[in-house]
Structure 1
Amino acid sequence: MTHPADSHDLIRVHGARENNLADVSVELPKRRLTAFTGVSGSGKSSLVFATIAAESQRLINETYSSFVQGFMPSLARPDVDVLDGLTTAIIVDQERMGANPRSTVGTATDAYAMLRILFSRLGTPHIGSAQAFSFNVASISGAGAVTIEKGGREVKERREFSVTGGMCPRCEGRGEVSDFDLTALYDDSKSIREGALTIPNYSVSGWYGRIFAGCGFFDPDKPIAKFTKRELNALLYKEPTRIKVDGVNVTFEGLIPRIQKSFLAKDREAMQPHIRAFVDRAITFGVCPECGGTRLSALARSSRIAGKSIADVCEMQISDLAEWVRELAAGSADESAAGDGAAGGASAASLAPLLGSLGDTLDSFVAIGLGYLSLNRPSGTLSGGEAQRTKMIRHLGSSLTDVTYVFDEPTIGLHPHDIARMNDLLLQLRDKGNTVLVVEHKPEAIAIADHVVDLGPGAGTEGGRIVFEGTVEQLRGADTVTGRHLGDRTALKETVREASGAVEIRGASTHNLRGIDVDIPLGVLCVVTGVAGSGKSSLVHGSLEERDGVVVVDQSAIKGSRRSNPATYTGLLEPVRKAFAKANGVKPGLFSANSDGACPACKGAGVIYTDLAIMAGVATVCEECEGRRFQASVLEYTLGGRTIAEVLDMSVAEAERFFSGEVDGAADARIPAAHKILVRLADVGLGYLRVGQPLTTLSGGERQRIKLATRMGDKGGVYVLDEPTTGLHLADVEQLLALLDRLVDSGKSVIVIEHHQAVMAHADWIIDLGPGAGHDGGRVVFEGTPRELVADRSTLTGEHLAAYAGG
Structure 2
Amino acid sequence: MSNIILRGAREHNLKNIDLCIPRDKFIVITGISGSGKTTLAFDILFTEGQRRYIESLPTYVRQYLQVLAKPDIDVLKGIPPTVAISQRTSIFSRRSTVATVTEIDHFLRLFYAKAGEQYCPQCGRPVHPSTPTEITEAILNRWQEKEVTILAPKVRQKKGWHQEVFKEAFKKGYKELRVDGKIIHLTSKIPKLSRYQSHDIDIVIAHYIPKIQKANELQALVALALKEGRGVLSVMTKDDIIFFSERLFCPFCQIGLPPLDPRLFSFNTSLGKCPFCDGLGEVDNEICPQCQGKRLNKIALSVKISNYNIAEIEGLNIEAVLEVLSKLKLNVRQKAIAKAIFPEIYTRLKFLKKVGLDYLSLNRGGHTLSGGEAQRLRLAAQLGSNLRGVCYILDEPTIGLHPRDNALLIKVLKALRDRGNTVIVVEHDPATIEAADFVIDLGPGAGKMGGKVIAAGTPDEIKTNPASITGQYFKKPLSLSIPQPTSKNWLHIKGARAFNLKNIDVDIPLGRLICVTGVSGAGKSSLVMEVIYKGVKARLQKTTPPQNHDDIIGWNALDRVLVVDHSPIGKTPRSTPATYVGFLDHIRHLFSQVPAARARGYKPGRFSFNVVGGRCEHCKGQGKVRVEMSFLPDVYVDCEVCNGMRFNEETLSITYKGKNIAQVLNMTITEAVDFFAPISIIRRPLEILKEMGLGYLTLGQPSPTLSGGEAQRIKLATELCIGTQGKTLYILDEPTTGLHRLDIEKLIKVLHKLVEKGNTIIVIEHNLDLIAASDYIIDLGPEGGEKGGMVIFQGTPEEITHHPHSYTGQWLKMALK
Q: Conserved in 1, the CA contact under 8 Å of 2:84 and 2:394? A: yes
Q: Which residue of 1 aligns with 2:761?
A: 750
Partner residue of 1:625 out of 634, 638, 642: 642
Give the counterpart letter for 1:24 in structure 2: I
Cα distance, 1:320 vs. partner?
1.9
Mapped partners of 1:176, 1:789: distance in 2? 51
Match of 2:83 among 90, 94, 98: 90
CA distance in 1, matches of 2:479, 2:489: 26
The structural deviation recorded for 1:74 is 4.0
1:117 is paired with a residue of what secondary structure?
helix
User: What is the distance in 1 between the residues matched to 2:33 and 2:312?
Assistant: 44
- Structure 2 CA distance for aligned equivalents of residues 115 and 84 of structure 1: 41
In structure 1, the residue corresponding to 2:228 is in which secondary structure? Answer: strand
Other-structure match for 1:16: 9
Greater Rg over alpha carbons, structure: 2
Within the candidate set 489, 501, 510, 2:498 is matched to: 510
Cα distance 1:75–1:625, how it changes in 2: closer, same or farther (>3 A)?
Answer: farther
Change (3 A) 1:776 1:175: farther
Other-structure match for 1:160: 229
After superposition, the CA RMSD in angstroms is: 3.1
Letter in 2 for 1:434: N
| Equivalent residue for 2:28, pick from 27, 35, 39 | 35
Shift of the alpha carbon at 1:373?
A: 2.2
In 1, distance between residues paired with 2:269 and 2:85?
Answer: 36
1:252 corresponds in structure 2 to none
Residue by residue over 1:467-492, the C-alpha shift from the partner in whole angstroms, topping out at 9 and shown as x without a partner, is 11111001111112112113333222
Report the AA paired with residue 379 of structure 1.
G
Q: Give the match's secondary structure for 1:447.
A: helix
The 5-angstrom pairing of residues 763-774 of structure 1 reads: 763-774=774-785
Map residues 184-199 of structure 1 onto 2, 5 A cutoff.
none
Counterpart amino acid of 1:643?
N
Paired residue secondary structure (1:37) = strand
Give the secondary-structure state (helix, strand or coil) at the position aligned to 2:229.
strand
For residue 625 of structure 1, report the CA deviation from its aligned partner: 3.4
**Equivalent residue number for residue 79 of structure 1:** 72
| Aligned 1:332-347 pairs, distance under 5 A | 333=328, 337-339=329-331, 345-347=332-334
Deviations 1:157-176 (A, max 9, x none): 98225564346799875558
Q: How does 1:621-700 map to 2 (within 5 A)?
A: 622-660=639-677, 670-700=678-708
Q: Secondary structure at the match of 2:502?
A: coil
Name the TM-score, length of structure 1 as normaliser.
0.76
Matched, 1:47 2:47: no
Query: Cα deviations across residues 548-603 of structure 1 (Å, max 9, x unaligned)?
Result: 42232112233543321101111021001111111242321121111132221232
Retained in 2: the 8 A contact 1:361–1:397? yes
Ranges in structure 1 where 5+ consecutive residues have no aligned partner: 1-7, 129-139, 149-153, 179-259, 266-282, 340-344, 661-669
2:268 & 2:451 partners in 1: Cα distance? 56
**Letter aligned with residue 575 of structure 2:** S
1:247-286 equivalent positions in 2, closer than 5 A: 284=284, 286=286
Offset of 1:48 from its aligned partner? 1.6
Distance 1:176 1:622 in 2: 50
Q: Number of matched residues? A: 660
The 1:618/1:121 distance shift into structure 2, 3 A limit, reads farther
| 8 Å CA contact 1:13, 1:83 repeated in 2 | yes
Look up the match of 1:116: 109
Give yes or no for contact 2:519–2:783 (8 Å, CA) kept in 1: yes
Judge conservation of contact 2:275–2:297 (CA < 8 Å) in 1: no
Structure 1 Cα separation of the partners of residues 48 and 531 of structure 2: 47
Residue number in structure 2 paired with 1:63: 56
SS at match of 2:56: coil
Which of 717, 721, 724 in structure 2 is aligned with 1:709?
A: 717
Q: Which moved further from structure 2: 784-793 or 490-499?
A: 490-499
Match of 2:313 in 1: 313
Query: How far apart are 1:23 and its partner, in Å?
Result: 0.8
- Summarize the Cα distance change of 1:30–1:573 in structure 2 as closer, same or farther, 3 Å threshold: same
> Secondary structure of 1:791's partner?
coil
Do the aligned partners of 1:96 and 1:387 also contact (CA within 8 Å) in 2?
no
Partner of 1:26: 19
Secondary structure at the aligned position of 1:629 is classed as coil
Residue of structure 2 equivalent to 1:299: 299
Whole-Å separation in 2 of the counterparts to 1:401 and 1:169: 32
Q: Which runs of 5+ in 2 are unaligned?
A: 122-150, 156-161, 166-170, 175-226, 233-257, 541-558
Three-state SS of the structure 2 residue aligned to 1:792 is coil
Q: Report the 3-state secondary structure (helix = DSSP H, G, I; strand = E; otherwise coil) of the residue aligned with 1:780.
A: strand
Give the corresponding residue for 1:528: 516
Q: Measure, in 1, the Cα distance between the counterparts of 2:276 and 2:83.
A: 36
Instruction: Judge conservation of contact 2:724–2:757 (CA < 8 Å) in 1.
Output: no
1-structure distance, mates of 2:637, 2:292: 46
> Could you say what secondary structure the match of 1:503 adopts?
strand
1:428 maps onto 2:415 in alignment? yes
**Contact preservation (8 Å) 1:101, 1:174:** no
Q: Distance in 1 between matches of 2:452 and 2:713?
A: 25
Which has the higher mean CA deviation after the structures are superposed, 758-767 or 350-359?
350-359
CA contact (8 A) 1:530 1:536 kept: yes
Measured against aligned partners, the alpha-carbon deviations of 1:393-452 in whole angstroms (never above 9, x if no partner) come to: 111122221111111111112111121111111111111111111111111111111111
Whole-Å Cα distance in 2 between the matches of residues 638 and 579 of structure 1? 10
Q: Distance in 1 between matches of 2:568 and 2:415?
A: 33
Where does residue 798 of structure 1 map in the other structure? 809
Per the alignment, residue 486 of structure 1 pairs with 474
Calculate percent identity across the aligned residue pairs: 40
| CA distances 1:320-340 after superposition (whole Å, capped 9, x unpaired) | 222322x33xxxx5xxx223x
Greater mean deviation of Cα atoms: 77-86 or 693-702: 693-702
Partner of 1:737: 748
Contact in 2 for aligned 1:411/1:442 (Cα 8 Å): yes
TM-superposed deviation, 1:609: 6.3
Greater CA drift, 106-115 or 458-467? 106-115
Deviation of 1:454 after TM superposition, in Å, equals: 0.9
Structure-1 separation of matches of 2:42 and 2:4? 14
SS at structure 1 position matched to 2:521: coil
Matched, 1:393 2:363: no
Residue aligned with 2:695, SS: coil
From 487, 492, 500, give the equivalent of 2:488: 500
1:621–1:50: structure 2 CA closer, same or farther, 3 Å change rule? farther
Distance 1:722 1:112 in 2: 29
Q: 1:376 aligns with which of 328, 351, 363?
A: 363
Q: Give me the whole-angstrom Cα distance separating, in 2, the residues matched to 1:716 and 1:617.
A: 50
> Could you tell me how far apart the structure 1 residues matched to 2:453 and 2:275 are?
52
* Counterpart amino acid of residue 105 in structure 1: V
Q: Which letter maps to 1:301? A: L
Hey, what does 1:250 align to over in structure 2?
Answer: none
Kept after mapping to 2: 8 A contact 1:97/1:379: no
Query: Does the CA-based 8 Å contact 1:175-1:287 persist in structure 2?
Result: no
Measured in 2, the distance between the counterparts of 1:802 and 1:364 equals: 29
